[in-house]
Structure formats: C-alpha cells, structure tokens
Amino acid sequence: MSDILILDNDKNEDIKKSSNTVKNNNQMNDNWGSLMDKINLFLLSLQKIQTKDKVLFYRLLATMTNAWMSVLKSMVVLEKQEKNPALKVILWVFCKELKDGKNLSECIELYPASFAEAEVGIISSGEKTGKLNEVLTSLSAQIEKVESISGKLKSAMMYPWFIMVIVIWVVAVMMIAVVPKLLEIFSWKAELPASTMLLVKISNAFRDYWFLMIIIIFVVVVIIKIWKKTPNGRYIYDNIMLHVPIFGGINKKLTLSKFSRVFSWLLGSGVSIVECLKITAVAVWNEVYKQRLLLLWNDVQQWIKIWESLDGDKLFPDMMVQMIQVWEETAKLDQTVIKVADFYDEQVDNTIGIINKLLEPFIIVFLAVVVWFIAVAIMQPIMSMSDTITQ
C-alpha cells in the first residue's frame, strides 16, 4: 500500500512539473508576443503619414465635429475604419491620449514627423476659440494647396535629373562595351585626332575604374546628406539652392508662399503675431529664411513693425513688404498675406509650366551634342584612313 502511495505522489509531482512547464511556456509566448506587438507598433508609429491621408483625416474629423460629435468619439470611429496601418496606430494612440484628458493638439504634437508644428498651433487655436471644425477644414485645404505646388516643383526637378541619369548610363554602356571594339581597328593611336584620343581616355576610364566611380559617387552623396543635417551645412545648402539659376527663383517663391500661407493660417486662427513668426520660422523648411524670420521674431518682440524689419532685405521682395506695410496699418494683415501666398503660388505654377516646355528641347540638344562628339571622334580617323588608302 505504501508503495502505491509513493507511486501516486511521484505521478502527482510529474503532473505538477509538466503543468508548470506549460504555464511557463505560455507565459514566455505571451511575453514574446506582447514584445513583438510593441515593436511592431513602435515601427509603425515611426512611419510618416502621406499628405493625402492626413488631409482626408482632417476633413473627416471636421465633418464629424461639425455634426456635434465629440473629438474622442470621432477619433474612435476613424480608427475603426482606417485602412492605413501606420495611421491606424497613430489614431489608436490618439484615442488613448484623448481618454486620458489630452487635447487634439497635444496628441498630434507626439508625432512631429507627420504633423508640423504649424498644424499644432493652428489646431490649438481652434480648440481655444471653439472653431475646431472650421480650422480643420481650412487646414486641410491649405495643406493640399501647398503640397500641390511642392509636388509640381519636385516633378519639374526630377525630370531633368532622371534624363541625366539615363544619359550617363547610356554613355557609360557605350564607353565600356561599344567604343573599345570600334577603336580596336585603329593601331596607330599616336596619330589619332585629339577628339579620338579624348574618347579613348574616357572609354578607358569607364572600363577600368567604373566600380571606383560608383563608390566615389555613393560616398559623395552620403557625405552631402550627413553634411546637410548639420546647422551650418543646412544653411549653406539652402543658400546655394536659392541662387541656382532658374530653380533658385522657384525655390524662393515657393518658400515665400509657404511663409505667407502658414502665417495667414495662424494669424487668422487667433494666434499672436509673435507666436506666428516663431512657428512659421520652422514651417518654411529653409534654414536661410528660418534664421531671418527668427530675427524678425526678435524685432517684433521689441515693438518693431514687420515691414520695418523686412524693408530692404533681399529675401523679401519690395512689393511684398509694401503690401504688408499698408495692411499692417489697417489691421488686415492675415487677409493680405494669404493674397501674397496665392500670387506666389500662381507665379510658381506658371514658371514650372515654362520650364517643363523648355527642358525637353534642351535635353534633346544635349543628347545630340553627346552623340555628335562620339560620332566625330570615331569618324575622323576612319576618314583619315580612307584618304591614306586613296593616296
């Protein structure tokens, strides 16, 4: 009997050990799953929201709040129907923070990569004045307008870069694979014309050092990107971009348009002029204009008028300064600034249209010059050979 009891106790201990092992394994799996979920949520929260998704979010939220729905309830509905994983995670965090008593402006401030500081200031002013739905509607329209102009500029600048990359790739293939075979027929390289000798040197450089060229280009691009992230490097780079022929003028007009539009949003939303200038300095995304607007912010704090501080500055055209002077004295500054933004948007749009029309013939001429040089460099020694044979 005692032997049976001993066996039963052993079985019970084995059962307890196995059950504890199962519990530990389940606990480890739960911990691992929760850890992976946290990592997944963290990675999704780092992704930047696309402008079209953000504009749609603002418009839907404005529509719901206009229908007397609370911000929290509206956010819960938007979070349930959202398809974008990154935005869905952000809306889920918004719901959690709103339940804890935070405002919408405090929520979007948690994601500076997706929501600009100017948007935080505008939404905060709408919450204070009780006009959140109007502010959100206006904000979505203005963001869409700015993004449209910026997109046109990017497309106008990407087109020539894309063509240049294709041209360089085609020339590299010709220099590595085609030209050396054509030049094999010339055995008297000392007597070749200067254009042919130059073509031979270029071909040899591409053929012997193509891998080194790729490494050098990659290193230069990385160094420039790192340098641009430093305050001094960013200032120098933005200053160069403002003085590049043709595109420098477009960058200047686009920056002035952003400044005018963001400043008008904030001022029309009830934000003080001093705070408007501080927020706008960050929103223009140009270090040169940022430093100048911070100086303007300091001048306004000392009771100097905006037009007096900007008068004679090459960064701000005389027409813009004069309009600000007139309307600053009539207390209608926000209405004037938005008109300035519309004017520069139209100027940028027209300039980009002209550039797109002129780029195509310019690129064709460039390609013709490249092909002509290669043809001349190859045909000159052939013609000389034929003349020698004829004689």
Q: For each of the chain's 391 residues, which pLDDT tens digit applies?
A: 444 444 455 545 554 444 454 344 444 344 434 655 566 666 655 667 788 888 888 888 888 888 888 888 988 998 888 888 888 888 888 898 899 888 888 888 888 878 877 788 778 877 877 778 888 887 888 787 777 777 766 776 677 777 778 777 877 787 787 777 766 766 555 567 777 778 778 888 888 888 888 899 899 989 998 998 888 888 999 899 888 887 788 888 888 888 888 788 777 777 788 888 888 887 787 889 989 999 999 998 888 888 889 888 888 988 888 888 877 777 666 667 777 777 887 887 787 777 777 777 877 787 788 788 878 877 777 777 666 666 5
CA 176, distance to chain mean position in Å, is 36
* CATH number of 358's domain: 1.20.81.30
The rounded distance, in Å, linking the Cα atoms of 315 and 296 is 12
Residue 198 included in any domain: yes
Residue 327 included in any domain: yes
The rounded distance, in Å, linking the Cα atoms of 72 and 61 is 10
Residue 30 included in any domain: no
Domain span at residue 76 reads: 51-115
Tally of domains within the chain: 2
Residue 23 included in any domain: no
350, 257 in Cβ contact below 8 A?
A: no
Same domain, 149 and 110: no
Tell me the CB-side half-sphere exposure of residue 72, using CA atoms within 13 A: 9
Torsion sign over Cα 63, 64, 69, 75: negative
Same domain, 88 and 228: no
The rounded distance, in Å, linking the Cα atoms of 101 and 61 is 18
Same domain, 283 and 168: yes
Same domain, 184 and 309: yes
Residue with tokens 């927020």: 279
Same domain, 95 and 161: no
Residue 302 included in any domain: yes
Residue 25 included in any domain: no
Same domain, 106 and 205: no
Locate 90 and state its tokens.
């952000």
Domain boundary among 115, 133, 158: 115
Q: How far apart are the first and last CA of the chain?
A: 126
Same domain, 99 and 152: no
92, 74 in Cβ contact below 8 A?
A: no
Residue 372 included in any domain: yes
Say if pTM beats, i.e. exceeds, 0.75. no
3-state secondary structure 63-110: HHHHCCCCHHHHHHHHHHHCCCHHHHHHHHHHHHHHHCCCCHHHHHCC
The DSSP call for residue 331 is T
Query: What distances in angstroms separate CA 214 from CA 204, 221, 222, 371, one per listed residue?
Result: 15, 11, 12, 23
Query: What distances in angstroms separate CA 99 from CA 127, 222, 230, one per listed residue?
Result: 17, 44, 39
Same domain, 83 and 181: no
Residues contacting 315, CB < 8 A, separation 6+: 252, 288, 289, 292
Same domain, 79 and 162: no
Q: Which residues of 2-23 are buried (b: 16+ CB within 10 A; e: fewer)?
A: eeeeeeeeeeeeeeeeeeeeee
Residue 43 included in any domain: no
Same domain, 289 and 383: yes
Same domain, 230 and 111: no
The rounded distance, in Å, linking the Cα atoms of 29 and 25 is 6
Nearest CA to 296 out of 318, 311, 317 is that of 311
Same domain, 94 and 173: no
